[in-house]
């Protein structure tokens, strides 16, 4: 296996080289003509939009499926992987985005699980774990129970697992998505440690600033193929973004303010506690007016999901009140809230938005199963639901042969367009839009933005949650920053930059100019005139 010394790798063969990789799924080409060369002893980032084919590529490299064309070389030798164990044998390990750890086992037990042959399960294994942990600065305690560890520690255990199996090249799939900023820094320190010990890291991400800070080389993937290799020292985030989406980045922007005085949704000191009693949403006070889009910016996992679930009545709130128009909807059931005119574009459409195995017209009924045209009393109105599904398909440009196909047969973007069409029907007063353009192609993205703009002009109030800062800045009338469940700052979307927003999201506050006020839980009544300044 690799005995490549650390260093520039100028002469050594690439640790991993992918040549002309093409992977087809039935009817779809997920990857084609991928060429990547990863120098040993480096951190190599692979960036691309959601759905650009990064994960498919890494599954190919990790032996989870075989490429239809192309070759994989490890340290200059061509290899064929039939399973992940082949990849591990060749020194390639993968840390998945979702940890694969048993909570009720100790660190030691988790690490040796499935690799008992290497060093047994006793003192030899313990010694090896301590050695690896010391060598790479992972700071693992073999006897801690997994359930006592935080997310960052768990991730280090995952890395340890991979190292224990003899990996010299480690693939990290979106490792920062679950981490808070400090943990991200710690992770990056670990990665630099690994690199200095001569290991190679392949780092998959779509967060450009992170990539620029940690990577030695960046490969950009767009629409299933490699489009560029960039040097992080000479590239800016904007240039990378342009490469990622193919140059014609649709710009999210609002034309003129449609914000009115009429409050549609009002949160007053809403607090949500996790099962352990921690406040995951902490005293959020917020007003959303008719014709206003209120954006919430924040690093994933800072209470956004819990906030929208509380608004939708899917999660009980510990204290505070939610008012919808004149009604106090605190504690209302989801169905009642929906019936009161609330639309919901969930962040995870497969979990919350569609029935994958049901036809489109049946999916039209989902979430609207008490209202015409889907139902008549206790009966399903098949004709009505079908007619309205046809309307959504036509109006929202859902690309599908007809409305009898199951939702799973559609692409993510078309599923999303269908969901948006469904949630907009019955003219809701208020819409919760969580990551409305996540995993959606560029064309659908601009269509979705246009739908939101039109609905806003017609008086819809929108709560917008997104990880895409440009989308937030461009689409919001008012912008709040959420950190550890608290609204820590309010920014003016007309003047704030993604960089300022990013630093506020990590708790550094909104520095620089930009006409922002760092308020805590300010209700933002003055947004109307502030927004009158007009966006570009």
Partner 1 sequence: MSDSPTRGGMPPALVPGVLIALLGTIVTVALDTVLLWWAALIIGVVLAFAAVILVDRRMPHVRRAGAAGTKEEGTALHNTLVVPTALVLSVVSGLLLAWFLDLSLIEPVAAALGALVGSAAAFLLHRRLSAMLALSFAAVFAAGIIAIAVTALVLFFSGIAPGATFARMIEYGSRPNSLVQIINDGTTYYLAAVAVAIGFKMKLFNIGVDGQYRLAALMAAAVGGWLVLPPVLSQIVIILVAVAVGGAWAGIAGYLKVTRGVSEVISTIMLNAIATGITAYLLNTDRLAVEISTNNIGTPPLPEGSWVPGIPALFLGSEREIFGLVFLAIAVGIGYAVMLNRTRFGFELRATGQSQSAAEASGVNVKKMVFLSMLFSGMVAGLVGMPQLLGSSHFYALDFPTGIGFIGIAIALLGRNHPVGIAFAAVFWAFLNQAAGILPFDGIPQEIAVIAQATIVLTVVVVYEVVHRWGRRYQQQQIGKELGTTVAEPAEATVPAGTASDSGDATGDDTPGNDRGGEAK
Crossing angle (nearest 10°) for helices 382-395 and 412-424: 120
- Indicate which single residue of 113, 115, 227, 321 sits in contact with partner 1 (rule: CB under 8 A): 227
- With respect to partner 1, which residue has the nearer C-beta, 117 or 379? 379
- Indicate which single residue of 17, 21, 41, 59 sits in contact with partner 1 (rule: CB under 8 A): 59
- Indicate which single residue of 27, 117, 261, 326 sits in contact with partner 1 (rule: CB under 8 A): 27
> Min. distance of Cβ 518 from partner 1 in angstroms?
31
Strand-pair category, 217-222 with 43-48? parallel
> Min. distance of Cβ 206 from partner 1 in angstroms?
7
DSSP-assigned states of every residue in 449-497: HHHHHHHHHTT-EEEEE-S-HHHHHHH-SEEEEEETTEEEEEE-TTT--
* Residues between 287 and 316 that touch partner 1 (CB under 8 A): 312, 314
- Indicate which single residue of 156, 222, 273, 486 sits in contact with partner 1 (rule: CB under 8 A): 222
Measured distance CA(167)–CA(159) in Å, rounded: 10
If one asks whether residue 10 binds partner 1 (CB under 8 A), the answer comes out as no
Measured distance CA(304)–CA(267) in Å, rounded: 14
Are 202 and 58 in contact by the 8 Å Cβ rule? The answer is yes
Measured distance CA(335)–CA(344) in Å, rounded: 11
If one asks whether residue 226 binds partner 1 (CB under 8 A), the answer comes out as yes
Bridge partners of 170?
Answer: 93, 201
Per-residue interface string for the shown chain with partner 1, residues 418-447, x marking contact by CB under 8 A = --------------------xxxx-xx---
- With respect to partner 1, which residue has the nearer C-beta, 124 or 333? 333
Per-residue interface string for the shown chain with partner 1, residues 131-170, x marking contact by CB under 8 A = ----------------------------------------
Helices and strands, counts by H and E, the chain: 18, 22
Measured distance CA(457)–CA(460) in Å, rounded: 7
Measured distance CA(479)–CA(524) in Å, rounded: 9
Handedness of CA 326, 265, 348, 95 (dihedral sign): negative
> Min. distance of Cβ 30 from partner 1 in angstroms?
5
Per-residue interface string for the shown chain with partner 1, residues 341-360, x marking contact by CB under 8 A = ---x-x---xxxxxxxxxx-
> Min. distance of Cβ 254 from partner 1 in angstroms?
25
If one asks whether residue 399 binds partner 1 (CB under 8 A), the answer comes out as yes
If one asks whether residue 213 binds partner 1 (CB under 8 A), the answer comes out as no
If one asks whether residue 401 binds partner 1 (CB under 8 A), the answer comes out as yes
> Min. distance of Cβ 310 from partner 1 in angstroms?
13
Q: For the chain, first and last CA: distance in Å?
A: 56
- Number of other residues whose CB lies within 10 A of the CB of residue 36: 21
Residue 33: φ, ψ to 5°: 50, 50
If one asks whether residue 387 binds partner 1 (CB under 8 A), the answer comes out as no
Region binding partner 1 by CB under 8 A among candidate stretches 50-58, 78-86, 130-138, 497-505:
50-58
- Indicate which single residue of 13, 19, 33, 509 sits in contact with partner 1 (rule: CB under 8 A): 33
| CA-based max dimension of the chain | 75
* Residues between 92 and 111 that touch partner 1 (CB under 8 A): 96-98
Are 260 and 240 in contact by the 8 Å Cβ rule? The answer is no
If one asks whether residue 113 binds partner 1 (CB under 8 A), the answer comes out as no
* Residues between 313 and 342 that touch partner 1 (CB under 8 A): 314, 333-339
> Min. distance of Cβ 180 from partner 1 in angstroms?
18
If one asks whether residue 247 binds partner 1 (CB under 8 A), the answer comes out as yes
DSSP state at residue 409: G
- With respect to partner 1, which residue has the nearer C-beta, 129 or 245? 245
- Indicate which single residue of 76, 246, 269, 515 sits in contact with partner 1 (rule: CB under 8 A): 246
Measured distance CA(393)–CA(411) in Å, rounded: 14
Measured distance CA(101)–CA(116) in Å, rounded: 16
If one asks whether residue 378 binds partner 1 (CB under 8 A), the answer comes out as yes
- With respect to partner 1, which residue has the nearer C-beta, 266 or 445? 445
- With respect to partner 1, which residue has the nearer C-beta, 146 or 410? 410
Bridge partners of 317?
Answer: none
If one asks whether residue 412 binds partner 1 (CB under 8 A), the answer comes out as yes
If one asks whether residue 373 binds partner 1 (CB under 8 A), the answer comes out as no
If one asks whether residue 393 binds partner 1 (CB under 8 A), the answer comes out as no
Measured distance CA(330)–CA(313) in Å, rounded: 8
For the chain, the 3-state helix, strand and coil shares in percent, each to the nearest 5, are 35, 25, 40
Region binding partner 1 by CB under 8 A among candidate stretches 22-30, 282-290, 493-501, 508-516:
22-30
Bridge partners of 271?
Answer: 319
Please give the size of the binding site for partner 1, defined by CB under 8 A.
Answer: 101
DSSP state at residue 247: S
> Which two tokens mark 127?
């010694």
> Min. distance of Cβ 279 from partner 1 in angstroms?
23
If one asks whether residue 370 binds partner 1 (CB under 8 A), the answer comes out as yes
């Amino acid at each position: 296996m690799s005995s490549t010394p650390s260093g520039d790798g100028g002469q050594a063969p690439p640790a991993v080289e992918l040549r002309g990789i093409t992977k087809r799924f039935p009817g779809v080409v997920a990857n084609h003509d991928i060429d990547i060369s990863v120098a040993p002893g480096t951190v190599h980032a692979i960036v691309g939009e959601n759905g650009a084919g990064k994960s498919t590529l890494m599954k190919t490299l990790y032996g989870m499926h075989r490429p239809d064309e192309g070759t994989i070389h490890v340290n200059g030798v061509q290899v064929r992987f039939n399973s992940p164990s082949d990849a591990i044998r060749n020194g390639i390990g993968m840390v998945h985005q979702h940890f694969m750890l048993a909570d009720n086992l100790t660190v030691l037990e988790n690490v040796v699980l499935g690799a008992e042959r290497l060093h047994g399960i006793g003192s030899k294994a313990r010694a090896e774990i301590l050695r690896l942990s010391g060598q790479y600065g992972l700071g693992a305690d073999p006897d801690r129970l997994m359930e006592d560890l935080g997310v960052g520690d768990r991730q280090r255990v995952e890395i340890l697992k991979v190292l224990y199996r003899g990996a010299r090249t480690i693939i990290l799939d979106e490792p920062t998505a679950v981490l808070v900023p400090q943990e991200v820094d710690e992770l990056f320190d670990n990665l630099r440690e690994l690199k200095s010990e001569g290991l190679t890291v392949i780092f998959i991400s779509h967060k450009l600033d992170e990539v620029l800070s940690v990577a030695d080389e960046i490969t950009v993937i767009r629409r299933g193929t490699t489009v560029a290799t960039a040097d992080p020292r000479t590239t800016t985030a904007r240039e990378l973004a342009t490469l990622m989406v193919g140059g014609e980045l649709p710009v999210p922007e609002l034309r003129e303010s449609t914000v009115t005085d009429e409050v549609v949704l009002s949160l007053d000191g809403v607090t949500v506690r996790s099962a352990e009693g921690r406040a995951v949403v902490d005293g959020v006070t917020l007003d959303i007016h008719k014709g206003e889009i209120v954006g919430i910016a924040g690093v994933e996992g800072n209470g956004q999901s819990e906030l929208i679930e509380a608004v939708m009545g899917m999660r009980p709130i510990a204290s505070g009140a939610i008012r919808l128009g004149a009604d106090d909807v605190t504690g209302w059931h989801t169905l009642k809230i929906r019936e009161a005119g609330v639309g919901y574009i969930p962040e995870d459409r497969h979990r919350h938005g569609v029935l994958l195995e049901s036809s489109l017209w049946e999916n039209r009924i989902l979430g609207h199963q008490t209202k015409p045209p889907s139902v008549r009393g206790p009966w399903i109105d098949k004709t009505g639901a079908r007619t309205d599904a046809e309307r959504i398909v036509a109006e929202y440009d859902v690309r599908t042969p007809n409305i009898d196909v199951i939702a799973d047969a559609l692409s993510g973007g078309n599923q999303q367009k269908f969901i948006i069409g469904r949630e907009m029907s019955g003219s809701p007063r208020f819409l919760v839009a969580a990551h409305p353009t996540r995993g959606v192609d560029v064309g659908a993205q601009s269509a979705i933005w246009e739908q939101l703009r039109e609905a806003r002009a017609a008086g819809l109030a929108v709560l917008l949650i997104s990880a895409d800062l440009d989308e937030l800045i461009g689409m919001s009338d008012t912008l709040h920053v959420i950190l550890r469940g608290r609204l820590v700052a309010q920014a003016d979307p007309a003047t704030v930059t993604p960089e300022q927003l990013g630093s506020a999201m990590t708790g550094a506050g909104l520095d620089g100019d930009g006409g922002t006020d760092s308020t805590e839980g300010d209700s933002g009544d003055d947004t109307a005139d502030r927004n009158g300044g007009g966006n570009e």
